[in-house]
Homo-oligomer: A and B are copies of this chain.
Amino acid sequence: MRLAELSERSGVSTATIKYYLREGLLPPGRRVSATQAEYDEEHLRRLRLVRALIQVGRVQVAAAREVLAAVDDEEQEHNNRLGAAVWALPHGPEPDESAPETAAARREAGRLLEAMGWTFARGLGDESPAFRMLVAAVAGLARLGYPYDVAHLTPYARAAQGLAGPELSLIASYESPAEQVEAVVALTVLFEPVLLALRRLAEAEESARRFPGPTTEAVRRAVADAEAGE
């Protein structure tokens, strides 16, 4: 397909596609004349991933280039490729090793992985950016005086564990290894705001249950009335 069609099918403007091409985020099309190139389904798929990274994941262009290098590294074992692509995503602030809470946070995070039976993640330890992200987040709880022991962290680990099965099944449903690596990156990024939004909604629902008042009753009554009228 030509650039115009690639733009139409992807919903990305031709100017943005040209920018991605210039930045090396999208491989060049097959040149068919001095001024025209031909693009294929792989370009369309890659464009989808680049948009997920940049527009949803707020990944910088340089970091996106790193993610894509990992995605394209076909020499690697499949699990390493999946991991490397996710590792190249931004993970927020690194743990502050000069802060006194960091050692305690690292210990509790390690105990949590042990309690969950996550042997592979435990073995990677600090090599894994997700583990360092966890340590930094737990240290933040500790520094501000909130509970951060294994008992308080376990519900979050269980919630995460409940997602891993369906997520990997979805990823495995893509045919080629390349598509799977793209999917793991895109889905990691795209489902993050879904999860955070649902957490806030579930919190609001539970809060309304525990602390009912005239407003919560009025809202529920309006829903019941709308249903009765349907």
A residues within 8 Å of B by Cβ? 11, 48, 51-52, 55-56, 77-80, 82-83, 86, 91-92, 113, 118-124, 128, 130-131, 133-134, 136-138, 140-141, 143-147, 152-153, 155-168, 170-172, 183-184, 186-188, 190-216, 219-220, 222-224
Do B79 and A207 have beta carbons less than 8 Å apart? yes
Supposing A128-B201, A160-B198, A188-B200 touch, asked if A206 and B78 sit within 8 A by C-beta, the answer is no
In the complex, are the beta carbons of A215 and B52 less than 8 A apart?
no
Known: A137-B190, A196-B133, A197-B131. A215 touches B160 (CB 8 A): no
Q: SS class of chain A's interface: helix, strand, loop or mixed?
A: helix
Inter-chain contact B158/A120, CB cutoff 8 Å:
no
When all copies of this chain in the complex are counted, the total is: 2
Are the C-beta atoms of B83 and A207 separated by less than 8 Å? Answer: yes
Q: Tell me whether A202 and B118 are in contact (CB under 8 A).
A: yes
What are 8 A-B interface contacts by the 8 Å CB criterion? A52-B144, A118-B201, A118-B202, A123-B220, A130-B200, A130-B201, A131-B197, A165-B206
Residues of B within 8 A of A157 (CB): 198, 202
Q: Please, which residues of chain B bring their CB within 8 A of the CB of A192? A: 196, 199
Q: Would B201 and A134 count as touching, CB distance under 8 A?
A: yes
Partner of A79, one of B55, B79, B202, B208: B208
